[in-house]
Structure 1
Amino acid sequence: MSAHNIRGKSAIVGMAIAGIGEAHGFSAMELLGQVAVAAVADAGLKMQDIDGVFAATSSHAFPTMSVVEYLGLRPRYFDGTNVGGSSFELHLLQATLALEAGLCDAALVCYGSNQRTAGGRLVSMSEPQWHETAYNPRHPITAYALATARHMHEYGTTREQLADVALAARGWANLNPEAFARGPLSKDDILSSRMISDPLSKADCCLVTDGAAACVLTRADRAKDLHAKPVYFLGGGAANYHRSIVAMPDLTTTAAVDSGPRALEMAGVALKDLDLAMLYDAFTINTIQITAEDLYLNAGDWYTFGDDGSTYQGTFAVGNLGPSATKLIYVRQIIPDAETLASLSSGFSVHVPPVVKYKKRQENGAGI
């Protein structure tokens, strides 16, 4: 099976999000269970119809085993691949392959976290890296700070330009009633916020929030009978270079430079065909790097069109649920308008941007 043969062969037919921000009194699995039930119902299916499960969490060593036990499922196919925040984009590709191969008929992709109410701090849940432990890093913040410092050295990026990213994100968050961090915020507020890991201040860092998200996929020929507005999966791409930040070949370049083109090639689209590009902006440096890498700009030129905030038009700030929930928020809010979009999420080791095509609700989509 070639990569082009799976283009448009699957579709998202149900989705749900829950517990955004703070979900007091709920465990990560309880939040995951809520959205799994809701997503299956949204697809017009019953839980016993789910025979494919794809999951990754930061609190379960064997996520698919925990999920199927909690939900009472007996799937024919399951996958718990964990590549950090990009896991769930990769799960879309894996679910599509499993569906097309006949290994399952209805796939559930799910995630849940109570990181804020359980601990309230942004910390890495993974095993220590022996060559970093001696320096007492505060991951993932230390890794992003190191990349930011190198970007500043190499391209002259400034803290003021980082602040523009945070300022634009807050501006759009203030338009979204579901956003966790809302309210007035000035550039001076951002620049004077507490330094966490030089050069990243508190305002540059990823939010810590609770939340859960799930989606259900079926083969495309079945999708049209299950949901009025299925979201067709066109393609995905992956790249995996390293585990530790110290092994990153170039601190200013992520694996997105390879995964982005792969996703577009599989989807059979070019950048000019995209109505919308969604960038996962956990830290302010993410937006700068991914914009350059996935939109094929020179690495130091992102700010030539970003200083006025136009880069961020159409983004939907909510909270840090990771790309798992972020892609579903895109799906829910963009369906009426965008015909073709790319969802781009990057980690320091893997970057997996799926390209999905929406069934148009009207004759012409109004892209941003």
Structure 2
Amino acid sequence: MTAAVVAAYEHPYTRHAAAGTTTEHVLTAAFHGVLREAGLRPDDVDGLGVASFTLVPDHAIDLAWRLGLRLRWLMEDPHGGASALNLLQHAVRAVEAGDARTVVLLAGDHLDRAAFRELVANYNRATAETLTPLGISGPNALFAMLTQRHMLATGLTEEDYALVPISQRWWAGRNPGAVYRAPLGLDEYLAAPVVAAPLRRYDCVPVVTGADAVVVTAAARGARAEVRAFGASHNHDGQQGDGLHTGHHLIADRLWADAALGPAEVGLACVYDDYPVMALAQLQDLGLAPDPGRLLHERLAVDHWPLNPSGGQLSAGQAGAAAGLHGLVEAVQQLLGRAGERQAAARHALVTGYGMVLHRYGACANAAILEGKR
């Protein structure tokens, strides 16, 4: 039995959610939204996967109960930017094994100021015991240092890194769901306040409220996205490396071999873009940017190659744990031909996950290559 993603949905992201909004509310809205896209009813769903930082004290089973679901397969993943592809891997395997027939994967959060402060201060024990006492509030300072290290290793300048958010903002202007859509130029980028040198405002993801969802089911006729290959590497260096290589560099060769494709054959990439440097590091590790300068100045700035054509997190927003599912939703919408004005001509898409900052940088990395069939 072949599993495929047949629908994707994003509950609208917002910077300032209405009073009374809850995480359960946005996850529920995404659940019903993706079922409408798939032409399914809740009774058709026998599998559920959930990722959320702020659903607590509830868990996946609580949400399933409130949705009125009776399930054969249930999973919850707490691993931030890597959670969505972890869930996808297990959901595909479950459908192929016959453990479930139709699985909905959900991810999302409502993060007001208080919830966000609590999250960044107590993200995990390493954060609470090691970073927060130093006055490091959130990951900006850590990734500013990593960006400095990347600059020294590659020779890239601040003006070069600017081309990631500028390019993605160009695409966001074609995405009515992006929270920031106005064109972004180099002068405006450089004039923005410095958050942690060399990072400026436009290098850091805006925190939003929202949720995403996909449906994985036994392959049916019609438009669908099938997973050609999947790979993951977690805790690849025990936080002892320099952070310039993610775990993706360990899975790249097998990923492409399993997909029977090369990096040049991928028509679009949705990579986890919490910071421009991390988008570039993943693309380098996976063979899509052997020359990062050429990628930035030619493929992105001139050719408008579709890197994160939703606008990515840098323009569409980061809705907590939904950030890991946002790229998959965009890739599926593209491969199903449902991306509207930003539709790219691509049959294959690369999606990556990256996350769970420990002492210095993300410890989890995964990637999937999807093929669209219509």
Gaps of 5+ in 1: 1-7, 361-368
Moved more, 46-55 or 132-141: 132-141
Maintained 8 Å contact 2:270/2:327 = no
Aligned counterpart in structure 2 of residue 320 of structure 1, from 318, 321, 338: 318
Moved more, 317-326 or 78-87: 317-326
Cα separation, partners in 2 of 1:126 and 1:232, compared to 1, 3 Å: same
Give the secondary-structure state (helix, strand or coil) at the position aligned to 1:216: strand
In the superposition, the TM-score normalised over structure 1's length comes to 0.85
1:162 is displaced (CA, Å) by 1.5
Question: Which residue matches 1:254?
Answer: 246
How far does the alpha carbon of each residue in 1:313-356 deviate from its partner, in whole angstroms, 9 at most, with x for none?
32221332413123212322343332122112323211221111
Maintained 8 Å contact 1:93/1:236 = yes
Cα separation, partners in 2 of 1:211 and 1:54, compared to 1, 3 Å: same
Give the secondary-structure state (helix, strand or coil) at the position aligned to 2:6: strand
Question: Which residue matches 1:356?
Answer: 370
Maintained 8 Å contact 1:9/1:233 = no
- Structure 1 segments of 4+ aligned residues over 4 angstroms from their partners: 116-123
Cα separation, partners in 2 of 1:280 and 1:72, compared to 1, 3 Å: same
Maintained 8 Å contact 2:224/2:336 = no
In the superposition, the TM-score normalised over structure 2's length comes to 0.83
Residues of 1 paired with 2:237 and 2:53: CA distance? 16
Maintained 8 Å contact 1:305/1:311 = no
Moved more, 113-122 or 304-313: 113-122
Residues of 2 paired with 1:236 and 1:34: CA distance? 29
Q: Which amino acid aligns with 2:162?
A: A
Residues of 1 paired with 2:304 and 2:271: CA distance? 9
Residues of 2 paired with 1:88 and 1:68: CA distance? 18
Residues of 2 paired with 1:311 and 1:153: CA distance? 27
1:95 is displaced (CA, Å) by 0.3
Cα separation, partners in 2 of 1:285 and 1:93, compared to 1, 3 Å: same
Residues of 2 paired with 1:58 and 1:257: CA distance? 28
Residues of 1 paired with 2:240 and 2:195: CA distance? 22
Q: How does 1:1-368 map to 2 (within 5 A)?
A: 9-22=2-15, 23-25=17-19, 26-61=21-56, 63-115=59-111, 124=120, 126-129=123-126, 130-220=129-219, 223-224=220-221, 228-241=222-235, 247-295=239-287, 297-298=289-290, 301-308=291-298, 309-310=301-302, 312-314=304-306, 315-317=309-311, 318-321=316-319, 322-336=323-337, 337-347=345-355, 348-360=362-374
Cα separation, partners in 2 of 1:203 and 1:296, compared to 1, 3 Å: closer
Q: Which amino acid aligns with 2:54?
A: S
What is the root-mean-square deviation in Å for CA atoms of aligned residues? 2.5
Residues of 2 paired with 1:52 and 1:338: CA distance? 29
Cα separation, partners in 2 of 1:358 and 1:116, compared to 1, 3 Å: farther
Maintained 8 Å contact 2:335/2:373 = no
Question: Which residue matches 1:364?
Answer: none
Residues of 2 paired with 1:34 and 1:147: CA distance? 37
1:27 is displaced (CA, Å) by 1.0
